[in-house]
Amino acid sequence: MTRLASYLGENEPAGSLAFWERKIGPFYDAAALFHIAALDLSEVEVCEKWGDVIAVAIKGLEYKLYPGFQFGPNGELLPGLRRVICILRPGLVDNWDISLWLNHHTMLFNGESATALLRQGRIDAVLDAASQDLARWNPKAASGQCGASN
């Protein structure tokens, strides 16, 4: 059983958009990001490449979607996301897994999610937890290659 399988509901297919919206919140397409975060398509692609924005694919859709949790009320990007992704990438399968990790409420964070802590500026606590999880999931992976920017 994969880590992702432990999150799946029994009565809804894992690929269902409704399923994922309940797990990690609403999704936006690139056009919506222009209105929410004032990012045009080329800027979104650059942000995605550098790990400032997470994009996910839904089976049957020809375009990517962007989970809303990574944008603040005024379109600001989630602080520290690039560094968290850099740490977690070797230990998780894809951006779905990373999104689930970021939005999972855990006792490690006193019942809050990593996303909530990042919004509160508690980036170091999230980075430490991500490093510890990576060490458990993939002991050979080195998270020390992640830069200190963002």
Q: What is the pLDDT of residues 9-48, one digit of tens each?
A: 444 455 567 777 888 888 888 888 888 888 888 898 898 8
Amino acid occupying residue 139: P
Would you say residue 100 lies in a domain? yes
Would you say residue 40 lies in a domain? yes
Confidence check: pLDDT of 148 > 70: no
Mean per-residue pLDDT of the chain: 82
Would you list the DSSP string of the chain? --TGGGG--SSS-TT-HHHHHHHH--EE-HHHHHHHH---HHHHHHHHHHTSS--B--TT-SS-BEEGGGB-TTSPBPTTHHHHHHHHGGGSSSHHHHHHHHH--BGGGTTB-HHHHHHTT-HHHHHHHHHHHHHHH-TT--GGG--S--
Residues 6 or more apart whose CB falls under 8 angstroms from that of 146 comprise 83, 86, 87
Would you say residue 150 lies in a domain? no
Domain that holds residue 91: 4-145
Q: What is the pLDDT of residues 44-83, one digit of tens each?
A: 889 889 989 999 887 777 788 899 999 988 889 999 999 9
Mean of the pLDDT values across residues 136-150?
Answer: 65
Would you say residue 93 lies in a domain? yes
Would you say residue 22 lies in a domain? yes
